Structure 1
Amino acid sequence: MAGLEGMGQPRGHGRATAARWSPAVEDERALRALDLFGNPAEAEVPLPSRPESAATARRLAQVVVLRQWGLTPKLTEDAVLLVSELVGNAVRHTGARVFGLRLRRRRGWIRVEIRDPSRGLPCLMPVQELDISGRGLFLVDTLSDRWGVDLLPRGKTTWFEMRVADR
């Protein structure tokens, strides 16, 4: 999909590009993602089921949670991490071509939803200290206040919620 062009590291730049990371550059990329894909706080944003979409979803979540909603950096960091985990699961396990990202806020809570066309349910597995994978739902379970799955006629929505202090 052409919309993802330039959202990750440019081809062939590897470590040289990573060395130039800065908050300002990341902020610029986040705002660009918002322009390209839309605001997931206003409507579900469809993203291609590709590994690089995790970075796009993280950037969109960061723009909404930190800038638009003005929530704390710690809450933003946790929410962005959990978005990445749920997107990774959607990309790896659903066989979907596209998934949807939606962020909602109501008094005292934020809710992040990932919708995909698979009706396969995610499974929280026990995690061992030396495990190198399988920690995604463990992190969601640990860092969110609640999470779950809503089955839909065609697919499911996996979601998590976090308590927030209202101003």
Structure 2
Amino acid sequence: MAEYGNPAETDVRLPSLPQSARIARRMTQYVMLRHWALGPTLAEHAVLLVSELVGNAVRHTGARVFVLRAQRRPGRVRMEVRDPSRGLPCLMPVGELDVSGRGLFLVDKLSDRWGVDLGPRGKTTWFEMRVTDR
């Protein structure tokens, strides 16, 4: 992780390659469990959802790089994946036998809020999860 940086401290640029999902999962797990000392269930869900957002960025945007960012705010955490595409992701209905298309369905079910912010040079897809502040 040291090679890329800590997404809780800075924007982390990753190459738009399938293996970057593994790197993003490790970074998310580190941030949730070690950097912010949050629980394992929250970390597990965040890791899964980051993997889905990264997978969408890699598969659907044609970008060479994307950015991962983690933010801790009072009562919640926010994970963001930014890419240069302005194409919006779609939440599709999912059948029980479907083998693909479940990414945003999972994000919708496991996060407390999610969305997409369009910017002048692309979009940021994000999700938030509630946490208990100590």
> TM-score, with normalisation over the residues of structure 2?
0.99
Matched, 1:159 2:130: no
Amino acid at match of 2:100: S
Once the two structures are TM-superposed, the CA of residue 73 in structure 1 deviates from its matched residue by 0.2
> Equivalences for 1:104-115 in 2 at 5 Å?
104-115=71-82
What does residue 126 of structure 1 align with?
93
Once the two structures are TM-superposed, the CA of residue 98 in structure 1 deviates from its matched residue by 0.1
Q: Secondary structure at the match of 2:3?
A: helix
Quick one: distance in 2 between partners of 1:129 and 1:44? 36
Quick one: distance in 2 between partners of 1:128 and 1:106? 35
Structure 1 stretches of 5 or more lacking a match? 1-32
What does residue 52 of structure 1 align with?
19
Identify which of 69, 74, 80 aligns with 2:41.
74
Q: Secondary structure at the match of 1:81?
A: helix
CA RMSD of aligned residues (A): 0.4
What does residue 83 of structure 2 align with?
116
**Greater strand proportion:** 2
Quick one: distance in 1 between partners of 2:57 and 2:81? 8
Quick one: distance in 1 between partners of 2:102 and 2:22? 18
What does residue 110 of structure 2 align with?
143
Quick one: distance in 2 between partners of 1:52 and 1:101? 14
Once the two structures are TM-superposed, the CA of residue 137 in structure 1 deviates from its matched residue by 0.1
Between 1 and 2, higher relative CO (CA 8 Å, sep ≥ 6) is seen in 2
What does residue 8 of structure 1 align with?
none
- Rg (Cα) greater in structure: 1
Kindly provide the CA deviation profile for residues 6-51 of structure 1, in whole angstroms up to 9, marking residues without a partner as x. Answer: xxxxxxxxxxxxxxxxxxxxxxxxxxx2x11100001110000000
Quick one: distance in 1 between partners of 2:11 and 2:65? 12
**Greater helix proportion:** 1
Once the two structures are TM-superposed, the CA of residue 113 in structure 1 deviates from its matched residue by 0.4
Amino acid at match of 1:159: W
Structure 2 stretches of 5 or more lacking a match? none
